[in-house]
Chains A and B, each alone.
Chain A
Amino acid sequence: MRWWQIRNRDADLERELRSDLELEEEEQRERGVSPEDARYASLRAFGNPTLVRERTRAVWSWDRVENLFRDLRISIRTLFRSPGFSLVAVLVMTLCIGATTCLFTVVRSVLLRPLPFRDPGQLVMVYEHFRAPSMNTEGFNYNLVAPADYYDWRAQTHGFEDLAALRWWQFSLTGEHGELPEIVQARGGTWNLFPLLGVEAAIGRTFTESEDRSDGYVAMLAWDLFERRFGGDPSIVGRQIHLDGQSYTVVGVLPKSFTWPDAKVQIWVPYKAALPPGLLSHHDFHFTNVVARLKPDVSLASAMSQIAAIQYRLHQNLNGMVAEDVASRTLTDDLAHRVEKPLIILLCAAACMLLIGCLNVANLIVARSAARQREIAVRSALGARRGTLIRAQLMESLLVSLTGGAAGVLLSLAVTKWLANNWKDLPTAQSIHADGVVLAVACGLVVVAALLAGLVPAILSTGKRATAALHASPRGTVGGLSRTALRKTLLVVEIGTTVVLLIAAGLLLKSFWRLITTNLGCTTDHVLTLSYSLPGRQYDTTAKVNAFNEALLEQVDALPGVRSAGIGSMVPGAGAGEDDAFSIAGHPATTPGAPEHDALFRTASPEYFKTLQIPLLSGRFFTGEDRVGHPNTCIISQQLAQQYFQGENPLGKHLLVPSFRTDCEIVGVVADTLYQVGKPSQATMYFPVLSGTSGQGLTLAVRTVSDPLLLSLPIQKEIAKLDPQLPVWDVYTMQQIVERSLGSATLSASLVLAFALLSLILASVGLYGILSYMTTQRTGEIGVRLALGAQRESIVRLMLSDGLRPAIYGLVLGLAASVGAVRLIQSMLYETRPLDLAVFGGVVATLLIVASLACLLPAWRASRIDPMQALRTE
């Protein structure tokens, strides 16, 4: 129906009612009633014409929509009339809804959305599992699987439809026509991996069973590499590419959606490709991830128990070379277990901030509804239904939340993008983006926020006592008192939540501080590191590897600004890397079943320790003589010495490392270093880099006089001079390595801190607002007090105590809640107790100071009131 029709209908109704009313009047007159009386009688018989008209109009049901529009119009007008309030409220909502939406987007993408595989619920990752709790702190509860274990599992169990394996690899991809060499991350996957996942090649095909052999030189490209390096030309399928100097035939390109397990993976080769065949029958090289698909009618527990039985038998037969048990986790868990906790904590923090924001807006609205008290009283006295009044008020908070929500969703899109790019630990198998569910949740948040911020004040301001405002004298505070009580309650909750956030932020910050100031056991100043790998085909003899390494060291040493340079397999802080089993000559063999001796495996050049300033505790460092053809030597870390040579001098003893070299004499003991910040140090053994170790996976460490990054280009030029085809990667200073290994700790600590600070600001603004409001309301009362001789100091005290009381209640509430909440973050803390006194004390002090400051200004203003002025303005 159009508006003119509505107008017509109105006129029509008017005319109808009038004509019928006149008829009634005429009939009365015809009965002999005087004209005057007839008019009244007819009106009496007819009832209230306005009401009849209104009710009849309502039949056409436009009335509801019209009312809604009227409310909307009035709300918009009111919001524009106080732009300060509106802006603050919208801004608060934008930030709060934006932050919550953004984190929910990440949580949904990373933790909730299933991977794009066939029936992903049936897929699990299977790991070897050490039962000893001490091993579990080191991540050995989900230990990588040895290839021989995998083949045994696959051959001997039938609980799973199939098991597939994949291993990490890295290739140097070189071009045929002199394109830049590039290091690409790769994975070797068994031929059944892609069918098991339910992934088909976008172009070409996946591997066949016959290609999964050690000379199966075929490769699949990830979509990213296909587009980036090969220009998206499908004719690449069937052509050759060069990986580590070996040519591989491209058989297929993976679909764009396939970025598992990591978007950085650019190339897939068959699992067995380029692996020495002997390695596949080993039970002590743990480098494989196993993914399994459950049979539809077999439970995970029973399928896993079959594998566990085999594993236990292997463990016993092999004298503890493999773990005694197996464990599984879902694919999503497997990718996200490192970020799950920080994510959930961040989401909780954002939700707390949203709660605080809503309470703050509610507080602002209560203050405004106090000003509109009279209007509401008049309206309800004139017969406005309570629902109508609540709806009118709710409209305002809904408008604020809607505007804030819309802006917040936009904000969250931008922030999510930033977060996805900067949070290194986030799994990249799923692209992180908002989808329908996220939008639905955002809408839900808007509605919840509107209700939270609008409903409570609306219900309370429209109660039975709403009309009391009409009876009250202008000086009265009838409605005011209950309203102030409400605002104080809101404030207590707000401050309590802030305290929880502040404490969580404080603990995370302290733990972060502990992490960043951890002593790695080596210097982190002025050290540049870069990684390279000498391809085995080209550098096929120890002599060639050593010649390159020695030439490189010589040339780098000669560069101006270089103090010293060393080469090793890894530098401290760069990760756990390789570890290996060993035994000690002359010591009794380990008892069957007990975990065997195990230590981190490192190689080092003579200058490695000096460059990184790892102190020598006894014996000597390597020299140029510790090389192939000379007696085998090794250096051990202090922890290894303490763990395995109690009360003995390790110098001169011999380590037996079956996988590497039978017999090495211990020539030195060096201080412990941390392989990763935040992890306890581990026993480490070092072998001379020149003693015939492989040339793959080496790190050059250079200590410089000035800014180490200035030397990164000259050093890379030196490498290019030695071998133009050799790519380098991971060019970092030691500082950067430490920062990288902090991972999400930096991010979550700073984000939670940001949320906490914002909440603190919101809470103090709330505190300031309520006290200012109370001061204004009590101007008359204070005037009387002053006129009767009250001291100005006592007025300040009165107002301060009034304002600080909710702050204290909130503080107590928040502290109590924190004791429970810190349990959630306990496992994320490093060398920080969850009930850290300094943090709790600091938060209490901060809150009290901020609260006092927020209260002081209104209190002072109250004490400055001129009694005459105050009494007159009533």
Chain B
Amino acid sequence: MTKQIQQRSNLLLGTLDMLILRTLLYGPAHGHHIGKHIQRTTNDFLQMQHGSLYPALHRLERKGWIASKWETAPDRNREFKYYRLTEKGRKQLVAEESQWKRMTEAVARVMWPAAEES
């Protein structure tokens, strides 16, 4: 069990940034929202751990790929810290996405050569 989690989070480690950026493509969201979204979309396969989510958000913000602002949520009467994608982040997302694509294709070609041929 422990091992499985570890494997998952390791997978997540390199791609978390990309997932966050992709999630923000839909529009501004706060930390909790982003985590929930990723978790729901992957059918709970990727358990969002807040221990890595918040450092990742702050890291991205520091790099200038996302920006943050305190805003009142539409459905709740409270302020949340909303993150939104910057122009720089948008470019980064495109770059990371194409790299990811190339990588998965390369991995797939090694892993399932027959499938490729057929």
Residues on B with C-beta less than 8 A from A51 are: 51
The reply on A15 being an interface residue by CB < 8 A is yes
Residues on A with C-beta less than 8 A from B79 are: 19
Contacts of B37-72 to chain A: CB distance below 8 A: 49-52, 54-55, 57-59, 62
Q: Name the interface size band of chain B.
A: 10 to 19
The reply on A301 being an interface residue by CB < 8 A is no
* Contact string against B for A residues 15-29, beta-carbon threshold 8 Å, 1 for contact and 0 otherwise: 111011011101000
Whether the pair A60, B62 counts as a contact (CB closer than 8 A) is: yes
Residues on B with C-beta less than 8 A from A83 are: none
Whether the pair B81, A52 counts as a contact (CB closer than 8 A) is: no
Whether the pair A47, B50 counts as a contact (CB closer than 8 A) is: yes
Complex: how many Å from CA A24 to CA B51?
15
The reply on A646 being an interface residue by CB < 8 A is no
The reply on B88 being an interface residue by CB < 8 A is no
Residues on A with C-beta less than 8 A from B50 are: 20, 45-47, 52
Residues on A with C-beta less than 8 A from B52 are: 55
Whether the pair B51, A12 counts as a contact (CB closer than 8 A) is: no
Least CB separation from B56: chain A residue: A59
The residue in A20, A24, A52 that gathers the most chain B C-beta atoms within 10 A of its C-beta is A20
State the Cβ distance, B60 to closest chain A Cβ, in Å. Answer: 9
Whether the pair A17, B54 counts as a contact (CB closer than 8 A) is: yes
The reply on A48 being an interface residue by CB < 8 A is yes
Residues on B with C-beta less than 8 A from A16 are: 30-31, 54, 80-81
Complex: how many Å from CA A19 to CA B76?
11
The reply on A56 being an interface residue by CB < 8 A is yes
Contact of B58 among A15, A47, A56 (CB under 8 A): A56
A48-B51 contact, Cβ under 8 Å, with A23-B32, A56-B58, A59-B62: yes
The reply on A853 being an interface residue by CB < 8 A is no
Residues on A with C-beta less than 8 A from B30 are: 16, 19-20, 23
Complex: how many Å from CA A51 to CA B50?
10
The reply on A88 being an interface residue by CB < 8 A is no
Whether the pair B51, A19 counts as a contact (CB closer than 8 A) is: no
Residues on B with C-beta less than 8 A from A298 are: none
State the Cβ distance, A630 to closest chain B Cβ, in Å. Answer: 105
State the Cβ distance, B65 to closest chain A Cβ, in Å. Answer: 13
The reply on A384 being an interface residue by CB < 8 A is no
Whether the pair B51, A20 counts as a contact (CB closer than 8 A) is: no
Whether the pair A56, B54 counts as a contact (CB closer than 8 A) is: yes
The reply on A58 being an interface residue by CB < 8 A is yes
Complex: how many Å from CA A678 to CA B31?
87
Residues on A with C-beta less than 8 A from B80 are: 16, 19-20, 23
Complex: how many Å from CA A810 to CA B113?
69
Complex: how many Å from CA A173 to CA B59?
79
Least CB separation from B80: chain A residue: A19
* Contact string against A for B residues 62-101, beta-carbon threshold 8 Å, 1 for contact and 0 otherwise: 1000000000000010111100000000000000000000
A19-B49 contact, Cβ under 8 Å, with A56-B55, A59-B58, A60-B62: no
Complex: how many Å from CA A59 to CA B55?
6
State the Cβ distance, B105 to closest chain A Cβ, in Å. Answer: 32
Complex: how many Å from CA A55 to CA B51?
7
Whether the pair A47, B81 counts as a contact (CB closer than 8 A) is: no
State the Cβ distance, B31 to closest chain A Cβ, in Å. Answer: 5
State the main secondary structure of chain B at its contact with A: helix
Residues on B with C-beta less than 8 A from A59 are: 55, 58-59, 62
Complex: how many Å from CA A372 to CA B106?
55
Whether the pair B51, A47 counts as a contact (CB closer than 8 A) is: yes
State the Cβ distance, B102 to closest chain A Cβ, in Å. Answer: 28
Complex: how many Å from CA A52 to CA B70?
20
Residues on B with C-beta less than 8 A from A45 are: 50
Least CB separation from A24: chain B residue: B32
State the Cβ distance, B48 to closest chain A Cβ, in Å. Answer: 9
Residues on B with C-beta less than 8 A from A12 are: 81
Contact of B32 among A13, A20, A48, A60 (CB under 8 A): A20
The residue in A13, A22, A56 that gathers the most chain B C-beta atoms within 10 A of its C-beta is A56
A19-B78 contact, Cβ under 8 Å, with A52-B50, A60-B62: yes
Whether the pair A47, B49 counts as a contact (CB closer than 8 A) is: yes
Complex: how many Å from CA A48 to CA B78?
24
Least CB separation from B30: chain A residue: A20
Whether the pair B32, A52 counts as a contact (CB closer than 8 A) is: no
State the Cβ distance, A70 to closest chain B Cβ, in Å. Answer: 21
Least CB separation from A15: chain B residue: B81
Residues on B with C-beta less than 8 A from A56 are: 54-55, 57-58
Complex: how many Å from CA A16 to CA B54?
10
* Contact string against B for A residues 36-79, beta-carbon threshold 8 Å, 1 for contact and 0 otherwise: 00000000011110011001101110000000000000000000
Complex: how many Å from CA A26 to CA B78?
12
A19-B81 contact, Cβ under 8 Å, with A47-B50, A52-B54, A56-B54: yes
Residues on A with C-beta less than 8 A from B57 are: 56
Residues on A with C-beta less than 8 A from B51 are: 47-48, 51-52, 55
State the Cβ distance, A556 to closest chain B Cβ, in Å. Answer: 92
Complex: how many Å from CA A59 to CA B57?
9
Whether the pair A60, B49 counts as a contact (CB closer than 8 A) is: no
Contacts of A378-427 to chain B: CB distance below 8 A: none
State the Cβ distance, B75 to closest chain A Cβ, in Å. Answer: 11
Complex: how many Å from CA A15 to CA B30?
12
The residue in A16, A47, A48 that gathers the most chain B C-beta atoms within 10 A of its C-beta is A16
Complex: how many Å from CA A269 to CA B48?
90
Residues on B with C-beta less than 8 A from A60 are: 58, 62
Whether the pair B81, A55 counts as a contact (CB closer than 8 A) is: no
Residues on B with C-beta less than 8 A from A58 are: 55
State the Cβ distance, B19 to closest chain A Cβ, in Å. Answer: 17
Complex: how many Å from CA A52 to CA B76?
25
Whether the pair B54, A55 counts as a contact (CB closer than 8 A) is: yes
Complex: how many Å from CA A122 to CA B52?
64
Complex: how many Å from CA A24 to CA B80?
12
Complex: how many Å from CA A23 to CA B54?
15
Complex: how many Å from CA A773 to CA B79?
62
Complex: how many Å from CA A58 to CA B30?
20
Complex: how many Å from CA A59 to CA B66?
15
Complex: how many Å from CA A23 to CA B35?
12
State the Cβ distance, A537 to closest chain B Cβ, in Å. Answer: 88
Residues on A with C-beta less than 8 A from B49 are: 47
Least CB separation from A22: chain B residue: B78
The residue in B57, B58, B79 that gathers the most chain A C-beta atoms within 10 A of its C-beta is B58
Least CB separation from B81: chain A residue: A16
Contact of B31 among A20, A26, A47, A48 (CB under 8 A): A20
State the Cβ distance, A488 to closest chain B Cβ, in Å. Answer: 44
Whether the pair A55, B32 counts as a contact (CB closer than 8 A) is: no
State the Cβ distance, B53 to closest chain A Cβ, in Å. Answer: 8
Least CB separation from B58: chain A residue: A59
Complex: how many Å from CA A396 to CA B79?
47
State the Cβ distance, B111 to closest chain A Cβ, in Å. Answer: 33
The residue in B49, B50, B52, B79 that gathers the most chain A C-beta atoms within 10 A of its C-beta is B50
Complex: how many Å from CA A19 to CA B68?
15
Least CB separation from B39: chain A residue: A45
Contacts of A529-567 to chain B: CB distance below 8 A: none
Complex: how many Å from CA A528 to CA B90?
96
State the Cβ distance, A558 to closest chain B Cβ, in Å. Answer: 98
State the Cβ distance, B36 to closest chain A Cβ, in Å. Answer: 9
A23-B76 contact, Cβ under 8 Å, with A12-B81, A47-B50: yes
Can you name 15 A-B pairs with beta carbons within 8 Å? A15-B81, A16-B54, A16-B81, A19-B30, A19-B80, A23-B32, A23-B76, A26-B76, A46-B50, A47-B49, A47-B51, A52-B50, A52-B55, A56-B54, A56-B58
Q: Given contacts A16-B31, A20-B50, list 7 more A-B pairs with CB under 8 A.
A: A12-B81, A13-B54, A16-B30, A19-B78, A23-B76, A56-B55, A60-B62
- Closest CB pairs A-B (n = 10): A20-B32, A59-B58, A16-B81, A56-B54, A56-B55, A55-B55, A59-B59, A59-B55, A47-B50, A47-B51
